[in-house]
């Protein structure tokens, strides 16, 4: 990262799915800013098949060659044992944990009528469960630290997607998982703030293995997203929690979610016809939704 300032000096950061793409860029960026990094990656293919320690070890090599500190973790963070060992790797290697970046994921794109149950389960598992379990184990550690009277300045950065915000044709499983991550982010932010933990999410847009086929014209680089992730993962982001940011190249957008729009109250039960008439009037006064990605 150019113009490094040491914003994460002394912090210990976990990045899941850090062997390639966005995760790799985040890991390198945190290390450049002084963090010690736990590089988690299973080394799987785009569809989650296969397994290799190579990608994680390569990123560790890049960090250490540049004078930083990093350790590889090859466990499956969508399992209880894998997630627990991930947090343990940070604590046993560096004695603390300050930031968790949940980034791991893969795709199995199909139109809904062609989407197999296995493809649904696999994508939900790695994205939704793969966010939940590391977060659960990290949060348990931070709660224990806070309970023992030790100061906690912890940060969690989850990874959602424009598909989770707006939907994406051919990605019903991925969109559902990414929308769920937004809900998890909001709940975790509300529950964990008392322990000194801030939880936010990013919806990145960058050219990676996962996006090169779906968004062929996308030219933004993974490293363009990482500065925001590093800031959210640092102590400098104090007071920012429960928010979702879209990041692409040099553009950062605060995404504003569901909130009450036009409403009507009859004061009694509607008939179906009355409810329909009222709904149509309310829709006429409401904002038009953003289009689903890929819709015609």
Kind of pairing between the strands at 251-255 and 244-248 = antiparallel
Q: 161, 189, 226, 237: which one is catalytic?
A: 161
**Cβ-count burial 131-140 (b if 16+ within 10 Å, e if not):** bbbbbebbbe
Q: 174, 234, 237, 293: which one is catalytic?
A: 174
DSSP H helical ranges for the chain = 21-32, 54-65, 80-94, 117-124, 130-147, 162-166, 172-192, 222-232, 272-284
DSSP for 143-206, please give it.
Answer: HHHHHTT----EEEEEE--HHHHH-BTTBHHHHHHHHHHHHHHHHHHHHHGGGTEEEEEEEEE-
Q: What whole-number distance in Å separates Cα of residue 38 and Cα of residue 36?
A: 7
At which residue do the structure tokens 């989850």 appear?
A: 158
Q: Which whole-number Å values give the CA distances from 266 to 37, 225, 251, in the listed order?
A: 57, 48, 44
Residue 168 is a catalytic residue: no
User: What token pair was written down for 62?
Assistant: 């890049």
Q: 178, 189, 226, 234: which one is catalytic?
A: 178
Residue 195 is a catalytic residue: no
User: What token pair was written down for 146?
Assistant: 């806070």
Q: What whole-number distance in Å separates Cα of residue 17 and Cα of residue 197?
A: 22
Catalytic site positions: 161, 174, 178
């Amino acid at each position: 990262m150019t113009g490094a300032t040491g914003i994460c000096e002394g912090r210990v950061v976990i990045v899941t799915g850090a062997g390639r793409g966005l995760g790799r860029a985040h890991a390198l960026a945190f290390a450049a800013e002084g963090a010690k990094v736990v590089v988690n990656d299973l080394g799987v293919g785009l569809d989650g098949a296969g397994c290799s320690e190579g990608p994680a070890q390569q990123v560790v090599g890049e960090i250490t060659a540049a004078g930083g500190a990093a350790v590889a973790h090859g466990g499956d963070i969508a399992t209880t044992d894998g997630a627990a060992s991930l947090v343990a790797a940070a604590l046993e290697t560096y004695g603390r944990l300050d930031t968790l970046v949940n980034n791991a994921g893969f795709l199995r794109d199909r139109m809904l009528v062609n989407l197999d149950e296995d493809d649904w389960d696999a994508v939900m598992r790695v994205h939704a469960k793969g966010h939940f379990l590391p977060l659960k184990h990290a949060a348990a550690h931070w709660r224990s630290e806070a309970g023992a009277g030790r100061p906690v300045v912890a940060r969690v950065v989850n990874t959602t997607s424009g598909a989770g915000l707006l939907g994406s044709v051919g990605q019903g499983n991925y969109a559902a998982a990414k929308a769920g991550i937004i809900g998890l982010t909001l709940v975790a932010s509300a529950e964990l703030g008392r322990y000194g933990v801030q939880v936010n999410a990013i919806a990145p847009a960058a050219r990676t293995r996962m996006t090169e086929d779906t968004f062929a014209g996308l030219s933004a680089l993974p490293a363009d997203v990482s500065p925001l992730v590093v800031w959210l993962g640092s102590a400098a982001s104090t007071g920012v929690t429960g928010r979702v940011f879209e990041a692409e190249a040099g553009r950062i957008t605060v995404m504003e979610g569901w909130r009450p729009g036009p409403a009507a109250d009859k004061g009694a039960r509607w008939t179906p016809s009355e409810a329909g008439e009222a709904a149509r009037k309310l829709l006429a006064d409401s904002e038009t939704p953003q289009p689903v990605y890929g819709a015609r």
